[in-house]
């Protein structure tokens, strides 16, 4: 049976699921507070997706088409889900192997609270620039730096903001990054010209972030003395683990694989398995204790302990509450709630896209952008809105680029302006949305709720604002050169 062409949605229809979702999320937070992300928000996203589907049915789409959109959304989230699960396992085995405790030990010895946030941001920026992956940096260095922050008794939320700021600076400016390649492809610009053009908004934004972290770092001076038990943390770690620089080899392997553009999921999984092997070799007693089965032979107990850390993370009892609170985490199971959130968020975004509601919202914004400054500001706002609605930075970049590209061409604006705006907001605002795949990943990996670290992600917050100010000021806005018309004399 053939279906007639669906009707184009109205602006009211496009707004309806958004307003419904906003109401549900506000109610969820009011009823459940900080626990709203552990189920209630997922229900809200799924119900809003159903409402968007009903609007699609009303406009002539079939149920099978709506159902296909749900499936497509879940399929799009598969890569993120696999990486999340692998990162959970990596955290578990790196805790058990002593890799993270080693980083904490040396970090506590070398770092000072007064410049810890600045150093965190810079280290993450340099590594992300080299490997082109904010997720890999957060899942490896970020985890250790959060633990170091707890050891120094400085704010994990601010540390998470510094990790994400640095990681996303490097990710955004690296030619190896997938988003850095995706944005010019969506806008029709050239990769290295795109990277050069981004420096005008990105470098000032990083400077603002560094100043912010420096100020907060000075305010943290002397904070470590507030909790005396943390002063003995290095000794407690050295007592429980056989520490040493050799335990950082899995980290080095992950960084090398990422630099060589090896896919993220197998890279992280290899790191997790290496962590398990190192745990069995260098921390055998801890691994046997993790197995918690006296009937097993030592060899089988080592296998069971590593396996348990891959699935359920590290679980040690050192007798030191600070150490146990710091290290007892990780495992694939720790990521299941985030996987649930990603599935529901991507389903909502995919249905909004398939029913034409998302594009209708974007075109509504485009209609009020009269000047060049307002057009670029609208691009920034739309990319952020797409991150909220579609819950994925790739969809935000592609959808916004697809809708705005003809308008930039019509106005004679160089596509570099569009590709830069796509990254200034599409890439950088993704970790600021709790149900976006990036926001959910960062919260689950770093152990800090999205809304807790959000005020301190100075780079990601500053960059869209800097970009909008420059757009309205007309600074570094490139125009297409008119094509010369050659006339021939008779």
Domain count, the chain: 1
Check if the beta carbon of residue 450 is closer than 8 Å to that of residue 441. Answer: no
> Rounded to an integer, what distance in angstroms lies between the CA atom of residue 389 and that of residue 80?
17
pLDDT tens string, the chain, 490 residues long: the values are 445 678 889 989 999 998 998 899 889 878 887 677 788 888 998 999 999 999 999 999 999 999 998 888 888 788 888 888 998 999 999 999 999 889 888 887 777 888 999 999 999 998 898 888 899 899 888 988 998 888 888 999 999 999 999 999 999 999 878 889 889 988 989 888 999 999 999 999 999 999 999 999 988 765 544 444 455 678 888 888 999 999 999 989 988 888 887 888 899 899 999 999 999 999 999 999 999 888 889 999 999 999 999 999 998 877 777 777 778 888 999 889 888 988 888 888 889 889 999 888 877 777 777 899 999 999 999 999 889 888 888 888 988 888 888 889 989 999 999 999 999 999 999 999 998 989 999 999 999 999 999 999 999 999 999 999 999 999 999 998 764 444 444 4
DSSP secondary structure, 192-242, as one string: HHHHHHHHHHHHHHHHHHHHHHHHHHHHTTTGGGG-GGGGGHHHHHHHHS-
Show the tokens assigned to 367: 């209609």
Q: How far, rounded to the nearest angstrom, does the alpha carbon of residue 331 sit from its chain's CA centroid?
A: 19
- Give the dihedral sign, CA 351/164/179/428: positive
Containing domain of residue 193, as a range? 79-334
User: 479: helix, coil or strand?
Assistant: strand
∠ CA 366-371-373, rounded to 5°: 90
**488 belongs to a structural domain:** no
Show the tokens assigned to 269: 């999984």
Kindly report the pTM of this predicted structure: 0.81
**404 belongs to a structural domain:** no
**376 belongs to a structural domain:** no
Percentages of the chain per state (helix, strand, coil), in multiples of 5: 80, 0, 20
User: 487: helix, coil or strand?
Assistant: coil
Terminal CA-CA length for the chain: 62
**429 belongs to a structural domain:** no
**238 belongs to a structural domain:** yes
**10 belongs to a structural domain:** no
**135 belongs to a structural domain:** yes
**164 belongs to a structural domain:** yes
> Rounded to an integer, what distance in angstroms lies between the CA atom of residue 277 and that of residue 249?
11
Contacts of residue 131, defined as CB under 8 A and 6 or more positions apart, other chains included, come to: 137, 170, 174, 176, 255, 258, 259
């Amino acid at each position: 049976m053939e279906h007639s062409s669906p009707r184009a949605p109205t602006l009211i229809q496009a707004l309806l699921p958004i307003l419904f979702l906003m109401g549900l999320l506000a109610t969820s937070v009011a009823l459940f507070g900080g626990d709203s992300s552990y189920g209630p928000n997922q229900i809200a996203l799924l119900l809003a997706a159903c409402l968007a589907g009903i609007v699609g049915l009303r406009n002539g789409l079939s149920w099978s088409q709506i159902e296909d959109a749900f499936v497509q959304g879940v399929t799009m989230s598969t890569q993120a889900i696999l990486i999340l699960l692998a990162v959970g396992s990596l955290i578990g085995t790196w805790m058990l192997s002593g890799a993270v405790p080693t980083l904490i030990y040396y970090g506590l010895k070398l770092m000072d609270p007064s410049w810890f946030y600045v150093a965190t941001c810079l280290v993450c920026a340099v590594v992300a620039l080299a490997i082109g992956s904010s997720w890999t940096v957060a899942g490896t260095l970020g985890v250790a730096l959060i633990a170091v922050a707890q050891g120094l008794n400085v704010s994990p939320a601010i540390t998470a903001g510094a990790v994400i700021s640095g990681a996303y600076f490097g990710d955004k400016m690296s030619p190896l990054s997938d988003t850095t390649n995706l944005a010019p492809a969506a806008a029709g610009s050239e990769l290295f010209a795109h990277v050069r053009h981004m420096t005008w908004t990105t470098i000032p934004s990083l400077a603002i972030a560094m100043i912010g972290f420096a100020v907060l770092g000075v305010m943290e001076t002397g904070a470590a003395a507030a909790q005396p038990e943390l002063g003995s943390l290095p000794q407690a770690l050295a007592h429980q683990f056989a520490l040493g620089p050799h335990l950082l080899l899995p980290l080095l392997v992950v960084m090398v694989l990422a630099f060589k553009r090896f896919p993220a999921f197998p890279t992280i999984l290899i790191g997790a398995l290496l962590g398990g092997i190192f745990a069995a070799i260098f921390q055998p007693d801890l691994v046997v204790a993790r197995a918690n089965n006296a009937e097993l032979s030592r060899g089988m107990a080592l296998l069971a302990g590593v396996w348990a850390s891959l699935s359920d993370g590290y679980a040690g009892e050192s007798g030191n509450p600070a150490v146990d609170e710091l290290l007892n985490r990780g495992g694939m199971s720790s990521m299941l709630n985030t996987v649930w959130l990603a599935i529901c968020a991507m389903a909502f975004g995919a249905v909004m896209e398939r029913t034409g509601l998302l594009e209708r919202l974007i075109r509504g914004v485009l209609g009020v952008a009269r000047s060049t400054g307002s057009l670029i500001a609208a691009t920034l706002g739309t990319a952020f809105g797409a991150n909220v609605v579609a819950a994925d930075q790739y969809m935000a970049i592609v959808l916004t680029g697809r809708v705005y590209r003809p308008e930039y061409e019509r106005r004679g604006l160089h596509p570099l302006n569009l590709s830069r705006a796509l990254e200034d907001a599409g890439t950088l605002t993704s970790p600021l949305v709790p149900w976006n795949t990036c926001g959910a990943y960062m919260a689950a990996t770093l152990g800090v709720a999205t809304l807790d670290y959000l005020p301190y992600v100075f780079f990601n917050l500053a960059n869209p604002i800097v970009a909008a100010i420059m757009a309205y000021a007309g600074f570094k806005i490139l125009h297409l050169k008119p094509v010369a018309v050659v006339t021939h004399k008779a």
